[in-house]
Amino acid sequence: MTNQEIRQLAVWLKENHLAGAELRRPGMHLVLKRSSDAVAVVVPQPVKAADKPLLKTPGLGRLLLTHPDQTEALVAVGSQVAQGQLVAFLQIGDLLLPVRSQQAGRVAAVLTPCGTTVGYGEAFMRLDAA
């Protein structure tokens, strides 16, 4: 994990009013705590723009919209997407993790080009609600 990624995590913590985060991986233990005392208020954010749901990346990695062994993208603008459908891959080294749509809808826009390195929670696709 790079310093830049840790800084990004800190920004997300602040934006989401979270008190801290702890990450454990073999060979790594990261604890982030916000020094500000205005914390620990878990206010559910009002669900806005529910008619234009955004699909967000589930973690750090390289976002692939097309499988490296295939030529066609998993979904394209205009495709109908079911809940749980595979819409992208997150490549971490030689590993490919599935990115599935949390909801049904029609792909309105692809916001991130194939092969972009993404962080956690980045919006990469916008759906029109089904």
- 8 Å CB contact between 18 and 39: yes
Rounded (to 5) percent helix, strand, coil in the chain: 10, 40, 50
Using the rule CB under 8 A, is 91 a contact of another protein? Answer: yes
Instruction: Please work out, in degrees rounded to the nearest 5, the angle formed at the alpha carbon of residue 96 by the alpha carbons of 29 and 117.
Output: 70
Nearer to another protein, 25 or 29 (CB): 25
User: Pattern 28-67, binding to another protein, x per CB under 8 A?
Assistant: ---------------------------------------x
What count of other Cβ atoms lies within 10 Å of the Cβ of residue 63? 20
22 near another protein, rule: CB under 8 A? no
At 6 the three-state DSSP class reads helix
Least separation in angstroms between CB 110 and another protein? 18
Query: How many residues touch another protein (CB under 8 A)?
Result: 17
Indicate which single residue of 16, 30, 52, 98 sits in contact with another protein (rule: CB under 8 A): 98
Q: SS3 for 28?
A: strand
- Quote the least distance from Cβ 40 to another protein, whole Å: 26
Binding site for another protein (CB under 8 A): 25-26, 67-71, 86, 89, 91-98
